[in-house]
């Protein structure tokens, strides 16, 4: 059973449907017992960092999350679920995260430039970073098995993670700057992109995660 943590942030049903499409049973829950009893745990999330941390505390979910990670069971963070694993975020002030991965969450700088759609030069890039972009695989964890370097995933975010230890970086993505688009450490894989919105390649990632032992 895969437990998808429900803390009132994000479209949890789309994540659940993604797992169901590839043959994995997934339960949306905020029950600490169900989270701890699950074989795999997923922390999704869309919204503001501070609000998400507030909701996790209010629903008593921080301890179950930390215990699930410490147990060694496969753990997947998606979008804000990646950012929450870090020490702190600079989104609308400075706010403490779960501090599982040392590092910060920072906003894309203004004035980023990238190739124009016409290919005639550079253009100013919009924030949030929204749409399809490719990943560069630095270290290939099992969840990326069968996924090509340069594959495209779907992103929606204005902030990105900066880990203190480069050894945790699984993939990077270029959006005017090269940023960390996923991390891997021990039983944790967490990504800034949305596999549940990334069509065939995203479903492959979810299938791989659900098959981990």
Name all domains of the chain by residue range, CATH numbers in brackets.
2-211 (3.40.50.880)
> According to the model, what pLDDT value does residue 121 have?
82
Tokens, residue 205: 């990632």
Q: Output the pLDDT for position 114.
A: 87
Q: Confidence class of residue 170 from pLDDT cuts 50, 70 and 90?
A: very high
Residue 21 has pLDDT above 90, yes or no: yes
User: Is residue 7 exposed (0-12), middle (13-18) or buried (19+ Cβ within 10 Å)?
Assistant: buried
pLDDT at 153 (0 to 100): 98
Residue 15, pLDDT > 90, answer yes
DSSP H helices in 3-109 = 12-21, 32-37, 49-58, 62-71, 80-83
Q: Could you read off the pLDDT of 54-85 as tens digits, one per residue? A: 999 999 999 999 999 999 999 999 999 999 99
- Known active-site residue 20: no
Average pLDDT of the segment spanning 163-172: 98
For 137-166, the pLDDT digits (tens) are 999 999 999 999 999 999 999 999 999 999
Q: What angle do CA 153, 40, 89 make, to 5 degrees?
A: 60
Confidence grade of residue 9 (pLDDT, cut at 50, 70, 90): confident
Q: Which neighbouring-strand residues pair with 103?
A: 163
Which residues share a beta bridge with 26? Answer: 2
Tell me the pLDDT band of 90, cut-offs 50, 70 and 90: very high
As a whole number of Å, the CA-based R_g of the chain is 16
Nearest to 188 by CA among 107, 102, 112, 59: 102
- So what's the pLDDT on residue 120? 74
At residue 6, the pLDDT reads: 96
Supply 89's token pair.
Answer: 């975020």
pLDDT at 108: 97
Instruction: Give the tens place of pLDDT for each residue, 25-46.
Output: 999 999 999 999 999 999 998 8
Q: Which two tokens mark 203? A: 């479903």
Q: Which residues lie below 8 Å from residue 118, measured CB to CB, with a gap of 6+?
A: none
Q: Spot the catalytic one: 79, 91, 157, 191.
A: 79
Backbone angles phi, psi at 73, to 5 degrees: -70, 150
Nearest to 180 by CA among 82, 113, 96: 82
CA-based nearest residue to 42, from 97, 3, 13: 3
Is 194 in the active site? yes
Mean pLDDT of 179-195: 98
Whole-angstrom distance, CA of residue 184 vs CA of residue 181: 11
Mutual orientation of helices 49-58 and 62-71 as an angle, nearest 10°? 90
* 99-132 tens-digit pLDDT: 999 999 999 999 999 887 777 788 899 999 999 9
Catalytic-residue membership of 191: no
Query: Tell me, what's the pLDDT at 115?
Result: 82
Reading the block at residue 165, the tokens are 């230890």
**What is the SS3 assignment for 137?**
strand
Tokens of 138: 């630095």
| pLDDT greater than 90 at residue 11 | no
């Amino acid at each position: 059973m895969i437990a998808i943590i429900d803390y009132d942030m994000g479209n949890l049903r789309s994540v659940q449907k993604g797992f169901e499409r590839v043959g994995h049973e997934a339960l949306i829950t905020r029950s600490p017992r169900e989270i701890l009893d699950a074989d795999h745990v997923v922390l999704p999330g869309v919204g503001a960092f501070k609000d998400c941390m507030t909701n996790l505390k209010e629903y008593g979910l921080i301890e179950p999350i930390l215990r699930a990670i410490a147990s060694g069971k496969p753990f997947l963070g998606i979008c804000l679920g990646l950012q929450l694993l870090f020490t702190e975020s600079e989104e609308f002030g400075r706010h403490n995260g779960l501090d599982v991965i040392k590092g910060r969450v920072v906003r894309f700088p203004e004035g980023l430039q990238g190739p124009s759609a016409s290919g005639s030069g550079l253009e100013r890039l919009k924030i949030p970073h929204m749409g399809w972009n490719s990943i560069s695989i630095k270290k290939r964890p099992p969840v990326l098995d069968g996924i090509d370097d340069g594959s495209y995933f779907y992103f929606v975010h204005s902030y990105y993670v900066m880990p203190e230890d480069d050894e945790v970086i699984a993939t990077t993505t270029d959006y005017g700057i090269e940023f960390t688009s996923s991390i891997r450490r021990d039983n944790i894989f967490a990504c800034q992109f949305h596999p549940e919105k990334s069509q065939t390649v995203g479903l492959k990632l979810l299938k791989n995660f659900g098959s981990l032992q």
